[in-house]
Amino acid sequence: MTDPLTPLAGKQILLGVTGGIAVYKSVELLRLLKKAGAGVDVVMTEAARQFVGKTTFEVLSENPVITDLWADSHASVAHIDVASRCDAAVIAPATANCIAKMAHGIADDALTTTFLAVTSPVMLCPSMNTDMYQNIRVQRNLDILEKDGVYILDPDDGVLACKTVGAGRLPEPWFIFDRICRMLSSKDFTGKSVLVSAGPTLEPIDPVRYVSNHSSGKMGYAIARAAEMRGAAVTLVTGPVSLDPPAGVETVHVQTCQDMADAMLSKMDGADIIIKVAAVADFRPKKQESVKIKKTSGQDEMILTLVQNPDILQRMGQLKRPDQFLVGFAAETNDLAANARKKIQKKNLDMIAANLVGAADSGFKADTNKVTLFFKDGSQKEIGLMDKQAVAHILLDAILVQVS
Ligand code: CTP
């Protein structure tokens, strides 16, 4: 069984490398796979070796690299060994030539022959000039492969080595790595739709100033990422943060509490599980000035009148259907259990994840968190101090027990 936190530990990955300028990114991908505890077998085409020599891959993978079926007496069976022992296989970069051969079952070199023998999940990462990528023949071949069950990772847009601007760049190694993790994660949230809110809200005073809080969005983003990895259809409604949206997640960017309320309520109907992590500003300036407020000479103080924002979670608790599971977060400075339980009642929640804010290793900006889960039935579960991604998975495990 795959551990959701370390889906690559102890797994064997087959990495196919074909001849494109992006081969240098495959070296970094290999490093990431090894660092995550995977064993890696590499198979390279002759063209790939024009860009990076096989020694680099051999040293980093700590395994012989297969380049030629006839180069040594073991190779003709070695390629079958690596094909049958892999848990997942990826070709990055995948050229138009390799894609065409794969689509039609042609096995005329070490790489295509090896991949024809693979029975585990396969991912292809096309990378080439934009016109080549958009060519109907390449697209047709990609369609064939997709229908055969091969996972095609779309290339990024950008400036290509040939100076063209458009689709065709190999995605960054961390992104390919993230998608390989997803391929290997257990899909216990398949068929479930998860709606998450994250980050702070920002309430304008005038065009240059606002009221907000220190929320980094890390906890909500970790939950959205974990749910997507586990097969859920995920929507993330996020206030302004400096994080990249998680892959495969529909991300809606908002600023104010009112924007967040509109987005969350419009998405609520389609959600099975709603997790409200966002640190919503409880109050907003009564009046938003359209021009910058100027100080006048002799002015010692300024009084800003704030009015209460709508409580989004409480509204969702009122609207919630019996088949929906509603989770809140509570950031407290004292009386954690009593305050958390009060919020379960007041907002009609199924569960609340509460943490004490103020400690350096827990709360807003930290990468770690220490939360206690409180359930509607009065039970509770303490989660020790750990990485927010780990907290996310434990929280999802607890939700799964309740909803299944
Ligand atoms: N919340 C919300 N809308 C608000 C305020 C809070 O949806 N206007 C949600 C948060 O996203 C969180 C939960 O309510 O899931 C608890 O937020 P918290 O700030 O801890 O509590 P409050 O209800 O605001 O109460 P207080 O600030 O008095 O502790």
What CATH number did the domain enclosing 73 receive? 3.40.50.1950
The reply to whether 54 falls in a domain is yes
In a domain, 330, yes or no: yes
CA dihedral 26, 133, 245, 32 (to 10 degrees): -10
Asked if residue 295 is part of any domain, the answer here is no
- Res 1: pLDDT: 62
237, 365: one domain: yes
Same domain, 198 and 215: yes
pLDDT for the residue 205: 97
Q: What is the number of residues in the chain? A: 404
Distance CA 398, CA 389 (A): 14
Q: Which of 184, 211, 241 is the last residue of a domain?
A: 184
Question: Which residues in 228-367 belong to E strands, given as ranges?
Answer: 233-238, 250-253, 273-276, 283-285, 306-308, 325-332, 351-356
Say if ligand 1 is within 6 A of residue 275 CB.
no
Closest CA to 171 of 92, 104, 95: 92
Asked, for residue 180, whether it belongs to a domain, the answer is yes
Residues 321 and 396 in one domain: yes
- Whether residues 71 and 114 fall in one domain: yes
Atom 8 in ligand 1: residue holding the nearest Cα: 311
Last residue of a domain, one of 184, 210, 243: 184
Q: What is the CATH number of the domain that holds 369?
A: 3.40.50.10300
Reduced to 3 states (helix: H, G, I; strand: E, B; else coil), residue 184 is: helix
Q: Which of 223, 257, 275, 282 to mutate to test the pocket of ligand 1 (most atoms within 8 A of CB)?
A: 282
Bridge partners (DSSP) listed for residue 211: 203
211 and 327 in a single domain? The answer is yes
The atom of ligand 1 lying closest to the CA of 316 is: 7
| Active site (annotated) includes residue 162 | yes
**pLDDT tens-digit readout, 111-139:** 999 999 999 999 999 999 999 999 999 99
Q: Is residue 354 part of a domain?
A: yes
Find the domain containing 346 and state its range.
193-286+303-403
Identify whether residues 124 and 235 lie together within a single domain: no
326 lines ligand 1 (CB under 6 A): no
Location of structure tokens 């007496």 = 73
Q: Is 315 in the pocket of ligand 1 (CB under 6 A)?
A: no
Q: What is the pLDDT of residue 75?
A: 54
342 and 205 part of one domain = yes
pTM, two decimals, is: 0.90
Looking only at the bridges linking them, the beta strands covering 273-276 and 193-198 are: parallel
Q: pLDDT for 199-258, tens place per residue?
A: 999 999 999 999 999 999 999 999 999 999 999 999 999 999 999 999 999 999 999 999
7 located within any domain: no
Shared domain for 172 and 242, answered yes or no, is no
- Same domain for 133 and 262: no
Distance separating alpha carbons of residues 390 and 135, to the nearest angstrom: 43
- 324 C-alpha to ligand 1 centroid (Å): 19
Do 211 and 355 lie in one domain? The reply is yes
Q: Is 261 in the pocket of ligand 1 (CB under 6 A)?
A: no
Name the domain boundary from 162, 184, 206.
Answer: 184
> 311 CA distance to ligand 1 centroid (A)?
7
| Residue from 311, 327, 345, 350 whose mutation best tests the ligand 1 pocket (most atoms within 8 A of CB) | 311
Task: Give a yes or no: residue 291 inside a domain.
Answer: no
| 207 and 238 share one domain | yes
**Distances in whole angstroms, Cα of residue 370 to Cα of each of 64, 299, 367, 391:** 44, 44, 11, 8
Residue from 98, 125, 162, 181 carrying the catalytic annotation: 162
Cα dihedral: 68, 72, 76, 80 (round 10) = -80
pLDDT of residue 357: 79
pLDDT-flagged residues of the chain (< 50):
none
Q: Answer whether 276 contacts ligand 1 (Cβ < 6 A).
A: yes
Same domain, 144 and 198: no
Number of domains in the chain: 2
Residue 312 lies in a domain: yes
* Whether residue 265 has its Cβ less than 6 Å from ligand 1: no
